[in-house]
Chain A
Amino acid sequence: MQNWFENKRFFWATMLAPTVWFLAFFVAPMALVWAYSFGENAGPVNIAITGTFGNYAKAFRPEILQVLSDSVVLALIATLICLVLAFPVAIAMTFADDKTKSWLLLLIMLPFWTNLLIRTYALIAMMRTEGFINFTFAFFHNIAVSLGFNLGDYVPMELLYNKSAIVIGLVYVHLPFMVLPLYAALDKLDRSLIEASLDLGAGHLTTMWKIVVPLALPGIAAGLVITFIPAMGAYLTPDLLGGPNDLMIATLIERQFKRANDWPFGSALSFILMYVTLIFFALRTFFEARGGKVSAH
Chain B
Amino acid sequence: MPDNSTVNKKSSVVKDETIIKIENLTKRFGKVAAVDDINLEIKRGEFFALLGPSGCGKTTLLRMIAGFEVPTEGKIFLDGVDVSNIPPNKRPVNTVFQSYAVFPHLSVFDNVAYGLQFDNVSKSEQRERVMAALEDVKLEHLAERKPDQMSGGQRQRVALARALVKRPKVLLLDEPLSALDAKLREAMRFELTELQDRVGVTFIMVTHDQDEALAMACRCAVMDRGRLMQLATPSTLYEFPANKFVADFIGSVNMFEGKLILDEPDKAIVEVEELGGKVFFDHGVLGAEGGQIFVGIRPEKIELIKRTKDMKKPQMEDSPEDCNVFAGVIDNISYLGSESIYEITLENGRRMQVSRPNLSRWDQEDFTFNDEVWLGFHGDSPVLLQN
Which residues A177-227 have CB closer than 8 A to chain B? 190, 192-193, 195-203, 206, 210-211, 214-215
B97 and A192 contacting across the interface, CB-CB below 8 Å? yes
B105 CB contacts on chain A under 8 angstroms = 214-215, 294-295
A193 CB contacts on chain B under 8 angstroms = 101, 103
Determine, out of B88-96, B182-190, B199-207, the stretch whose residues face the partner at the interface.
B88-96
Pick the contact of B166: A195, A197, A200, A214 (CB < 8 A).
Answer: A200
A201 and B119 contacting across the interface, CB-CB below 8 Å? yes
B242-275 vs A: 1/0 string, CB under 8 Å? 0000000000000000000000000000000000
In whole angstroms, what is the CA distance A198 to B115 when docked? 9
A210 CB contacts on chain B under 8 angstroms = 114
In whole angstroms, what is the CA distance A193 to B166 when docked? 17
B87 CB contacts on chain A under 8 angstroms = 198
If A195-B68, A195-B97, A297-B147 touch, whether A201 touches B89 (CB-CB below 8 Å) is yes
How big is the B interface, by class?
20 to 34
B299 to chain A, nearest CB (A): 39
B66 contacts A by Cβ under 8 Å: yes
B119 CB contacts on chain A under 8 angstroms = 201
Pick the contact of A202: B66, B118, B162 (CB < 8 A).
Answer: B118
B98 CB contacts on chain A under 8 angstroms = 192
B73 contacts A by Cβ under 8 Å: no
B104 contacts A by Cβ under 8 Å: yes
Pick the contact of B104: A199, A201, A297 (CB < 8 A).
Answer: A297
In whole angstroms, what is the CA distance A208 to B147 when docked? 20
B292 contacts A by Cβ under 8 Å: no
If A192-B97, A192-B99, A196-B97 touch, whether A203 touches B89 (CB-CB below 8 Å) is yes
B90-126 vs A: 1/0 string, CB under 8 Å? 1001110111010111000000001100110000000
A296 contacts B by Cβ under 8 Å: yes
A211 and B103 contacting across the interface, CB-CB below 8 Å? yes
Pick the contact of B94: A199, A215, A293 (CB < 8 A).
Answer: A199
Chain B residue at smallest Cβ distance from A210: B114
In whole angstroms, what is the CA distance A196 to B119 when docked? 16
B318 contacts A by Cβ under 8 Å: no
If A201-B118, A202-B89, A203-B89 touch, whether A196 touches B95 (CB-CB below 8 Å) is yes
B89 and A198 contacting across the interface, CB-CB below 8 Å? yes
In whole angstroms, what is the CA distance A192 to B103 when docked? 10
Given contacts A195-B95, A195-B101, A197-B103, 14 further A-B contacts (CB under 8 A): A192-B97, A192-B99, A195-B97, A196-B103, A198-B89, A199-B66, A200-B115, A200-B118, A200-B166, A201-B166, A206-B118, A211-B103, A297-B104, A297-B147
3 closest A-B pairs by CB: A200-B115, A201-B118, A196-B101
